[in-house]
Amino acid sequence: MLAIVMCGGRGSRLGFVEKPMISVGGKRLVEGVMEELELAGLETVFVTSPFTPETERFLREMGLEVFRADGGGYMHDLRQAVFEYRILEPVLNVNSDLYFRERGIILRFLRAYLTSSSPAMSAVFPSGRRVGINAFDPALGEQREEKFIIEESRVINIDTPGDLERLRDGRVL
């Protein structure tokens, strides 16, 4: 299964900072996502945009597969990558602004998806808010999705300055 990591957002809620490059504990957020995907043994494509040149440069210098979308928005850029890579089988897509407090979350998500009868799965917090980890089959178009519940203390989606501040202070979000 291919993993697509979305790295092209504007970061507007964080003052237009490239969120994948935010460092927490000496490690960039995108590096933590990389480690999770390596643990799961997935081939990965990183989708950047004109809004994330530093992220793109960092990923290319590491020798990773990078696709530069045109920056039309999350779903637009994801569809653009699926089309460009001619993906016609299930794919995992992950946000690059996640901080994993424990290892193996993506692996557990994948196991649940691969044993499910649903063509799509989305990780959500108990509140219903999306985590930023999804699997779907692009060949099937619109799909009913199963929910995979993850406790908010295990993975943190960095959306706001407050999220980042609480993470850096060591407080559970």
Q: Which long-range contacts (CB under 8 A, 24 or more apart) does 24-28 make?
A: 24/99, 24/164, 24/167, 24/168, 28/58
Q: Which long-range contacts (CB under 8 A, 24 or more apart) does 28-32 make?
A: 28/58, 29/96, 29/97, 29/98, 29/99, 29/158, 30/5, 30/55, 30/58, 30/59, 30/96, 32/98, 32/99, 32/100
Indicate the pairing of strand 130-136 with strand 120-124. Answer: antiparallel
What pTM was estimated for this model as a whole? 0.92
> Where do the domains of the chain lie, and which CATH numbers do they carry?
2-168 (3.90.550.10)
By three-state DSSP, how is residue 160 classified? coil
Per-residue pLDDT for the chain (173 aa), expressed as one digit of tens each? Answer: 999 999 998 877 666 679 999 988 889 999 999 999 999 999 999 999 999 999 999 999 999 999 999 999 999 999 999 999 999 999 999 999 999 999 999 999 999 999 999 999 999 999 999 999 999 999 998 888 999 999 988 998 888 888 788 777 765 54
- Region label for 79, one of left (φ > 0), alpha (ψ between -120 and 50) or beta (otherwise): alpha
